[in-house]
Amino acid sequence: MKLPVTVHEARLGTREFTVVRPAGPLAHAALVDRDRYVDAYLDADAARSVAALWLLAARSPRSLVHLPLRADRSPVPEAPGPFAGRLDLVLLHHSLQFAPSRWKQLRSRLDHGRPASVAVPGTEREEAAAVEHGARHHRENRDLFHQHVHAETLFLTGSATVFRDTAGHFLEVAREGPGHTPVHRRCPHFCTRLHTDAGILADGREIHIQYRDRWDA
């Protein structure tokens, strides 16, 4: 998949940072803080784009991948628990050692950016190497996501392996969601999850990834 992006640069102190964003708004995509968990709502196109950005994060350890999801103000469904607000998303490799508390400052210093197009393999089929389920729960497993929320942004920090191994969740939503909803009218809900017990989250909350075909209500 060819992914159009915008590449931004900024300096904080003695360090230069690169932030990669999708070239245009991610329409029909929302990330909602439900306090005890996080909801992601996506249509098929948005799910494929997020999968591509997820895989881009796996191969770009020196960049922050920023998904400005708060820009889409389409209404989101009600759900159990308090609504704590919408979130942007930043994906980054743990070796970058970027402190989320500095995000607001970095974001304000970004330049206008330059357009680019990157080839992201693995978005047409799931190429992530299968990981034995039991290995995820070994004490020495370090391929885990760490979560932080700062400046209305959810930060997912992890290794290239965990980004590759979880991109398939979004591909599944893009592939299966459109066919599920028309057939199962009584239960049109199609989702997948980044489970707290799946051996991929070091800390933080479960992320519920849901296909949504209607965005006008």
Helices marked H in the chain:
44-58, 103-109, 160-166, 168-183
pLDDT (average), residues 89-100: 96
Rounded distance between C-alpha atoms, residue 122 and residue 182, angstroms: 27
On the question of pLDDT at 125 being above 80, the answer is: no
Q: What is the per-residue pLDDT for 116?
A: 97
How far is the C-alpha of 132 from the C-alpha of 202, rounded, in Å?
17
The pLDDT tens digits for 57-94 are 999 999 999 999 998 888 888 888 788 999 999 999 99
Position 217 pLDDT exceeds 90: no
Binning pLDDT at 50, 70 and 90, where does residue 196 land? Answer: confident
Burial 122-142 (b: 16+ CB within 10 A, else e): bbeebebeebeeeebeeeebe
pLDDT of residue 104: 96
Residue 105 pLDDT: 97
User: Which has the higher per-residue pLDDT, 135 or 163?
Assistant: 163
Q: What is the pLDDT of residues 16-30, one digit of tens each?
A: 999 999 999 999 999
pLDDT at residue 114 in the model: 97
Please tell me which residue, 204 or 90, carries the higher pLDDT value: 90
Q: What is residue 198's predicted lDDT score, i.e. its pLDDT?
A: 81
Write down the number of H helices and E strands in the chain: 4, 12
Give the span between the Cα atoms of 48 and 151, in whole angstroms: 26
- The residue ranges of every structural domain in the chain are 2-211
pLDDT at 182: 72
- Are 157 and 146 in contact, with CB atoms under 8 Å apart? yes
Q: Which residue, 88, 86, 84, 89, is CA-closest to 34?
A: 84
Average pLDDT, the chain: 88
pLDDT of residue 121: 76
Q: In this model, does residue 199 exceed pLDDT 70?
A: yes
| Residue 216 binned pLDDT confidence (cut-offs 50, 70, 90) | confident
pLDDT over 70 at 195, yes or no: yes
pTM here is 0.90
What confidence category does residue 8 fall into, taking pLDDT thresholds of 50, 70 and 90?
A: very high
